[in-house]
């Protein structure tokens, strides 16, 4: 089974993803948090990373059946065939969102826990955040180390 891309009606991505899940389709809708301002308040909402697109994993011969789902406009094609998205590309999107989410949350002075590797479960203080790396000070070792942003969690 491969990942394919469906084009949806405007602002219907979440509803389409729910409808597709209801009929048993494996769906991936990458969402990111964004602050939206109204006249009376500011609220953090989850927005689709790609407007009007949802990713589905199923056999290619069942793809046309999804056009019957309300809100699905069309199947994305490339060179006359349904566009295939490799698993590694889906994983890259997921990793990007994880890093982006953590980057917004983690800043200098925060206490974090390391999630993997030799220093797993060690706790430290963030000294600096840059690109995909976090500089941590580990009190119990009295050392400064560099850790991938995706491998730390704020405590």
Q: Where are the beta strands (DSSP E) in the chain?
A: 2-8, 26-28, 31-37, 42-48, 53-58, 72-75, 77-78, 81-82, 84-85, 111-114, 123-130, 133-138, 143-148, 152-154
User: Cβ–Cβ contacts within 10 Å for residue 11, how many?
Assistant: 12
Domains and CATH numbers, the chain: 2-104 (3.30.70.940), 107-154 (2.30.30.30)
Please provide the average confidence, as pLDDT, over all residues in the chain: 92
Phi, psi of 110 (to 5 degrees): -75, 150
- Distance between CA atoms of residues 114 and 117, nearest Å: 8
Residues 6+ apart with CB under 8 A from 15: 71
Match 């809100």 to its residue by tokens: 71
Question: What is the predicted pLDDT for the residue at 107?
Answer: 86
What pTM did the predictor assign? 0.70
Give tens-digit pLDDT for 10-52. 999 999 999 999 999 999 999 998 878 778 887 888 999 999 9
Residue 33 confidence (pLDDT): 85
């Amino acid at each position: 089974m491969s990942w394919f891309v469906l084009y949806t009606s405007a602002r219907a991505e979440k509803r389409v993803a729910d409808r597709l899940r209801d009929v048993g389709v494996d769906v991936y809708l990458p969402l990111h948090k964004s602050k939206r301002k109204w006249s009376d308040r500011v609220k953090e909402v989850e927005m689709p990373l790609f407007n009007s697109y949802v990713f589905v994993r199923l056999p290619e011969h069942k793809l046309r059946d999804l056009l019957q789902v309300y809100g699905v406009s069309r199947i994305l094609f490339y060179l006359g065939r349904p566009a295939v998205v490799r698993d590694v590309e889906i994983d890259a999107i997921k990793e990007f969102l994880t890093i982006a989410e953590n980057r917004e949350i983690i800043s200098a002075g925060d206490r974090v826990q390391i999630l993997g590797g030799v220093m797993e479960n060690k706790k430290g203080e963030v000294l600096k955040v840059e690109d995909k790396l976090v500089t941590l000070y580990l009190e119990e070792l009295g050392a400064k180390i560099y850790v991938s942003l995706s491998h730390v969690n704020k405590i």
